[in-house]
Chains A and B, each alone.
Chain A
């Protein structure tokens, strides 16, 4: 068992310092995930606070210590999706994007905006795959679906991301 898994076991049993060490271990990942969704440092920090709270409250629901990190990231993603829904900010950039038109090298800002234009599942998949650097196999386990499905979703997500970047609008005609 890795040291991390041991920590998870202790945290599940109610060891507060193990829990804090775990959050320390993944705080940068959590922060970057929050930032990719919420776009502001302030909101990302608020997200970290809330996710720490939620993770602590539901630490008992961790079923497999080796997937603690993805469990944590998913809490973050769920939180962020809820926040975005609340603010209905998701669609803000589509028009701007198409006005800007297609370009060969999409700059960072465009990419970030395009991410926010994606549907929840696509955003989640991209976050796990590229920001958290997870393998397809692990994503499949996290989302509890076959690897083939993850690949299909990932392709769809990348396609709609490209479509958005090239100003083709949504992904309704995939």
Chain B
């Protein structure tokens, strides 16, 4: 009936010239945009954690801060420092450490089949070690991955590893021959090791090389400064105690304990900062570990360090805490019927989807809320269910909807109702507490 039209339609785009190069560029640009957002939003991939015993560690990715003129000047006189600074630009404390010559240059490298791995340098304190590295390739590469990373002691002293931030995928549209980044390791007991071995896998296209390098720390490790406070604080009738503040060169650890009598579960200290006598402020770690939870009622919060600043006076200011009524701190769902059975007051979750092994809950937070919401997952009988990870994505049909997901291997066979313990949630208590540290 419409043979003629059909024939024409079929041939219509057969002879189109396809600009393959531009096409690949467009694909890459789209891909890069998506992955760079994912890097900010997803808590699932790329960062590997070795979890400390019972502690749960959380991570945040925020924006970076600017270079101080003095510092810009400082780095301009030392060759090779720019790339290092790019990696710690968002952390005042680490910048101060470099500025105060606490960065130790290493410069050990190994080359295998055209790929060269170099340990540029290290910043280490009692509590942690940041290893700065560069990977060089012969050809310009658009994509490159680091896989397994292992840090070992070569001394008789052993390393008690806590959390670490490793593994990284690099993308560059134009392709680069040099890629720099850092690995972060934190320890459970004070670092005494001086000689290390690091093993790392690097993947470029189909090629995979394993590098083993050794390095030695010569700089003396700066001791932490501890301020014991045991100061009770109350915000909106929720009480907690700031036990102590440990100032390390790499970060400041604030140890807090909640009152078990509180009606609300304090989930996260969103706005907590250090202020000195001049009003200079140090915020939470912007890109890395922001805290670790020892138990429901005890946590350590990490702030950027003022170790090298030596203020005359120092205050801890707490303004805003994520909090939820204790009886409300979970979501209960039926995965077969795809129904939310119970959720916190206010019905913030608008929809539930179950897709394969994934539980996906939608919400319309007023402001962007990039946290992995759930922690423990339990089945009908209260048994803990292992989860593969949490993730977060924005619905592209409706940008205001955020989807919070949990992956659970073998989800189909789990017995409903399933309950998800809330670990982060967009509801807050606010106050303005100022505690004198010194």
A32, A60, A159: the one contacting B393 at CB < 8 Å is A60
Chain B window 8-20, contacts with chain A (Cβ cutoff 8 Å), 1 for yes, 0 for no: 1110110010110
Q: A46-B26, A158-B6 are in contact. Are A57 and B12 (CB under 8 A)?
A: no
Q: Report whether A57 and B396 are in contact in the complex, using a CB–CB cutoff of 8 Å.
A: yes
Q: Report whether B12 and A108 are in contact in the complex, using a CB–CB cutoff of 8 Å.
A: yes
A52, A108, A133, A165: the one contacting B31 at CB < 8 Å is A52
Q: A16-B35, A36-B12, A52-B30 are in contact. Are A41 and B19 (CB under 8 A)?
A: yes
Q: Which of A137-159 contact B (CB under 8 A)?
A: 155, 158-159
Q: A27-B23, A31-B23 are in contact. Are A56 and B12 (CB under 8 A)?
A: no
Q: Judge whether B169 is part of the interface by a CB distance below 8 angstroms.
A: yes
Which residues of A have CB within 8 Å of B35? Answer: 16, 56
Q: Report whether A53 and B30 are in contact in the complex, using a CB–CB cutoff of 8 Å.
A: yes
Which residues of A have CB within 8 Å of B360? Answer: 60
- Kindly count the residue-residue contacts between A and B in the assembled complex, taking CB atoms under 8 Å apart: 106
Q: Report whether A130 and B6 are in contact in the complex, using a CB–CB cutoff of 8 Å.
A: yes
Report the bound CA distance from A56 to B393 in whole Å: 10
Q: Report whether B12 and A112 are in contact in the complex, using a CB–CB cutoff of 8 Å.
A: yes
Q: Report whether B10 and A53 are in contact in the complex, using a CB–CB cutoff of 8 Å.
A: no
Q: Which of B387-401 contact A (CB under 8 A)?
A: 393-396
Q: Judge whether B381 is part of the interface by a CB distance below 8 angstroms.
A: no
Q: Report whether A161 and B5 are in contact in the complex, using a CB–CB cutoff of 8 Å.
A: yes
A35, A51, A159: the one contacting B13 at CB < 8 Å is A35
Q: Among A20, A54, A60, A155, which residue has the most Cβ atoms of chain B within 10 A?
A: A60
Which residues of A have CB within 8 Å of B26? Answer: 45-46, 48-49, 52
Closest residue of chain B to A106, judged by CB? B8
Report the bound CA distance from A19 to B27 in whole Å: 11
Report the bound CA distance from A126 to B13 in whole Å: 13
Closest residue of chain B to A126, judged by CB? B9
Closest residue of chain B to A33, judged by CB? B13
Interface residue range, chain B: 35 or more
A36, A52, A111, A165: the one contacting B27 at CB < 8 Å is A52
Q: Judge whether B33 is part of the interface by a CB distance below 8 angstroms.
A: yes
Report the bound CA distance from A28 to B303 in whole Å: 50
Closest residue of chain A to B206, judged by CB? A17
| Majority DSSP secondary structure for residues of A touching B | helix
Closest residue of chain A to B30, judged by CB? A52
Q: Judge whether A131 is part of the interface by a CB distance below 8 angstroms.
A: yes
Which residues of B have CB within 8 Å of A14? Answer: 44-45
Interface residue range, chain A: 35 or more
Q: Which of B120-166 contact A (CB under 8 A)?
A: 143
Report the bound CA distance from A72 to B35 in whole Å: 18
Q: Judge whether A95 is part of the interface by a CB distance below 8 angstroms.
A: no
Give the shortest distance, in Å, between B172 (CB) and chain A (any CB): 14
Give the shortest distance, in Å, between B387 (CB) and chain A (any CB): 15
A27, A36, A56, A158: the one contacting B2 at CB < 8 Å is A158
Q: Report whether A57 and B394 are in contact in the complex, using a CB–CB cutoff of 8 Å.
A: yes
Q: A20-B31, A49-B30, A130-B12 are in contact. Are A54 and B396 (CB under 8 A)?
A: yes
Which residues of B have CB within 8 Å of A28? Answer: 18, 23
Q: Judge whether B355 is part of the interface by a CB distance below 8 angstroms.
A: yes
Q: Report whether A130 and B22 are in contact in the complex, using a CB–CB cutoff of 8 Å.
A: no
Report the bound CA distance from A42 to B33 in whole Å: 19
Report the bound CA distance from A56 to B1 in whole Å: 41
Which residues of B have CB within 8 Å of A158? Answer: 1-2, 5-6
Chain A window 63-93, contacts with chain B (Cβ cutoff 8 Å), 1 for yes, 0 for no: 1000000000000000000000000000000
Q: Judge whether A50 is part of the interface by a CB distance below 8 angstroms.
A: yes
Q: A32-B16, A45-B19, A53-B34 are in contact. Are A24 and B27 (CB under 8 A)?
A: yes
Which residues of B have CB within 8 Å of A50? Answer: 30
Q: Report whether A63 and B31 are in contact in the complex, using a CB–CB cutoff of 8 Å.
A: no
Q: A57-B394, A60-B358 are in contact. Are A45 and B22 (CB under 8 A)?
A: yes
Q: A28-B18, A53-B31, A54-B396 are in contact. Are A48 and B45 (CB under 8 A)?
A: no
Which residues of B have CB within 8 Å of A12? Answer: 356
Report the bound CA distance from A112 to B44 in whole Å: 45
Q: Report whether B23 and A45 are in contact in the complex, using a CB–CB cutoff of 8 Å.
A: yes
Q: A28-B18, A126-B9, A130-B10 are in contact. Are A16 and B169 (CB under 8 A)?
A: yes
Q: Judge whether B29 is part of the interface by a CB distance below 8 angstroms.
A: yes
Which residues of A have CB within 8 Å of B396? Answer: 54, 57-58
Which residues of A have CB within 8 Å of B22? Answer: 41, 45
Q: Report whether B12 and A111 are in contact in the complex, using a CB–CB cutoff of 8 Å.
A: yes
Give the shortest distance, in Å, between B42 (CB) and chain A (any CB): 9
Give the shortest distance, in Å, between B91 (CB) and chain A (any CB): 27
Give the shortest distance, in Å, between A112 (CB) and chain B (any CB): 7
Q: Among B6, B33, B38, B396, which residue has the most Cβ atoms of chain A within 10 A?
A: B396
Q: Judge whether A2 is part of the interface by a CB distance below 8 angstroms.
A: no
B16, B33, B45: the one contacting A53 at CB < 8 Å is B33
Give the A-binding residues of B (Cβ under 8 A): 1-2, 5-6, 8-10, 12-13, 16, 18-19, 22-27, 29-31, 33-35, 37-38, 44-45, 143, 169, 355-356, 358, 360, 393-396, 405
Smallest CB-CB A-B distances: 7 pairs: A52-B30, A56-B34, A130-B9, A158-B2, A53-B30, A49-B30, A48-B26
Could you write out 11 A-B pairs with CB less than 8 Å apart? A17-B143, A24-B27, A31-B18, A49-B30, A52-B30, A53-B30, A53-B34, A54-B396, A60-B405, A130-B6, A131-B13
Give the B-binding residues of A (Cβ under 8 A): 12, 14, 16-17, 19-20, 23-24, 27-28, 31-32, 35-36, 41, 45-46, 48-54, 56-58, 60-61, 63, 106, 108, 111-112, 126, 130-131, 133, 155, 158-159, 161-162, 165
